[in-house]
Amino acid sequence: MNQSDYSYSTLPNDIALKIASSLTVPDLSSLGCCSRVWREICRSDCLWESLVKERWPLLYEAVKDPNFKDWRGFYVKQHEEKKGQADSVINLVEQCLQSDSLKVIDYLHAIKCLKTMQFGFRDVQMLLLKQKLNVLLNLIGLHYCLNILQVPAFCITEALRGGKIVDRRVCVKWRRPGRWFNGFRIRDGYHSRCVYLEDLVTGEDDGEVLTVLERGATREFL
């Protein structure tokens, strides 16, 4: 018996399950690679059933069956499906990007795609709120969670911190129509604002940026 096996054998089964149940999916998978006994505990159906229920509550209720087995396999299959859908949105946005800028009409289309695909908060957190992705994709995920899913702000902030993207910034530029002043028409102008992702969640920008994006004027861009 190696050291990892011995360490596990000194723990009661319920304590080992409690430890494993507190982990994220990547950490749970890593723990399962430590030894044979940890692999068995980390593949326990009760753990993966709970993860399915947390990430896809509606789907879980639809397939819930006392005799259902292999919740881990079910989770992996659903995750791969969502990953494929996320990749399609990522490719769509990357094709529309012009020198790191994105027209708002394309931005809103990406959010609509997420809604059509019935993405949940955990899906967005795991697949779009990632450091390796363009910040505009992070913004799309943030906007979707905040305005469509109406996830509490503190949950989104924690997700930004977990993805190490909380201090990323975006710059939004939009067209302000001209107006009349003392009988003269002032020409159209542009207004821009740079803001941290965290400030969009907490409302430090007074909600101005997301309001502009929601408006969806085709002349607005990021």
Asked which of 65-74, 121-130, 142-151 is least confident by mean pLDDT, the reply is 65-74
Residue 2 has pLDDT above 90, yes or no: no
Higher pLDDT, 178 or 32: 32
Residue spans of the domains in the chain: they are 44-215
pTM: 0.81
* Distance from C-alpha of 213 to C-alpha of 127, rounded to nearest angstrom: 22
Q: Which residue in this structure is represented by tokens 């910034």?
A: 169
- Residue 195 structure tokens: 């803001």
Q: SS3 letters for 6-45? A: HHHHCCCHHHHHHHHHCCCHHHHHHHCCCCHHHHHHHCCH
Q: Which of 13-17, 92-96, 137-141, 168-172 tops mean pLDDT?
A: 137-141
